[in-house]
Amino acid sequence: MNTRKIIRSLNGVFPIVKPHGITSAEVLNTIKQQLYKELEIHKSGELKLGHGGTLDSTATGVMAVGIGNGCKKLKCLLHGDKKYQVQCQLGIATDTYNETGKVVTEMAYDHVTEELLRASLREFHGRIKQLPPLYSALKMNGRRYSDLAREGVEVTIEPRRVFCYEAHLTSFSPPYFGLLVSTGPGFYIRSLIHDLGQAVGSCAHVRELQRTKHGPFTLSDALPEDKWNAEQIMQSVTRFRNIIDKYYREYKMATFKDKW
């Protein structure tokens, strides 16, 4: 198969496993550089890539990537459901709500029991109002809140309505605990843990975060970094083409109904 035919076939959506310590944008750049080198592409803009939802640089797991014409279908995944495994720590709050931030509060946590955590988690089930973290990819006037915050610009964030399908305690060894969380679009796990810490009369932050499901994609579907090459990507795009097309049609129908 010649290079031009391969490029024409690279149109669709495929899942990858995002590694720790790299931003979502850097992931796309890494994949693009690999494909440009492998396919001997010299013209900038020959391949278009995008992703269907940002993961924090320290987070890992499933990330949907659009390539070529598949980029236009990423909207359906931005509005898709997601699942996460998260490891948390009680007694310490940070400005980023995760382990990368500056410690802003320390509180006692010895009163927090497994039963109290489980009971408090139920408060976050269903449709809730959630205040996104200041350090996030959300934008104001085209600039990320996180960049504005680092520059000392005062930012007012409004709470948003989000949906939590389930949030289960998977481990409890104070000050550490683990959760399995299933959410709708726009949900911030970091905000959930921050708010949960307050709900149990202490504070908390995220230590580790892994997305295990994104729309129709699971971890077992996703390409690890050593398989970010043209052949593997082409196979993955082909494998999921019908699934994504169906997902996209359903998204468009739902959007149309909402307008009416």
- The residues annotated with a catalytic role in the active site are 56
| DSSP code string of 195-236 | HHHHHTTS-EEEEEEEEEEETTEEGGGSBPGGG-SHHHHHHH
Contact between residue 71 and residue 52 where contact means Cβ atoms under 8 Å apart: no
Give the DSSP H or E segment for 76.
helix 75-78
Provide the pairing of β-strand 12-18 with 60-67: antiparallel
Contact between residue 55 and residue 18 where contact means Cβ atoms under 8 Å apart: yes
Give the DSSP H or E segment for 91.
none
Distance CA 28, CA 73 (A): 16
Contact between residue 183 and residue 81 where contact means Cβ atoms under 8 Å apart: yes
| DSSP code string of 101-163 | S-EEEE---TT--HHHHHHHHGGGSEEEEE---SSSS-EETTEEHHHHHHTT-------EEEE
Distance CA 82, CA 59 (A): 14
Longest Cα–Cα distance in the chain: 65
Distance CA 127, CA 188 (A): 13
Count of CB atoms situated within 10 Å of the CB of 186: 15
